Structure 1
């Protein structure tokens, strides 16, 4: 964190807060608005979202895990320094032990997996 350029903090904070939300919402909207195939890809994506949350809920209940920013004094939330109000938002939707599994990672992988499967019918969505 000490070598992170200050100029990049705002870019990555906005990318994280807006980009991840965009990724989660744009996929279902894209597939909902598409015609044909009885919206198979929309169903696949929504089932993937539900499975991710189901597995996450079970793991969050069974495994108490703390991320590095909650465990190590030398690690701080750089995003919170740039936009302190994001701490209120993240605290409202997650506890400090919701770190295993990473829903950010698993949901992102679910989106790219369905995007890859739908690349023939939605060629512009896959690169997004």
Structure 2
């Protein structure tokens, strides 16, 4: 099968760097699949899980934060705030973050604080979902 070059860059590290057959990622309009020789594009990425199918058929599953995806000349770059494999997720920490965010939502907040708390809750819930799904 045809492959393309993919580099996944998180704020703290290069998560993946190599060739792959396909990539499925979360966008504002839903999940998007990318194969080799896909048309050039730039799209916004939302928090969610990605699936990278490698040349050898193995899959890498991960949870990513907000970012952007770019495909140009069969070379793809995914720039995200965070990228974690399910086994890297600290489940206890994610549960505690979820509980703190739920408690903050029950309290009166400014609109800005409310949206920040919702984003924190969404991130924690997504990390928990991915850790349970792939373990």
TM-score range, shorter chain: under 0.3
Where is the helix percentage greater, Structure 1 or Structure 2? 1
TM-score by length of 2: 0.22
Greater relative CO, 1 or 2 (CA 8 Å, sep 6+): 1
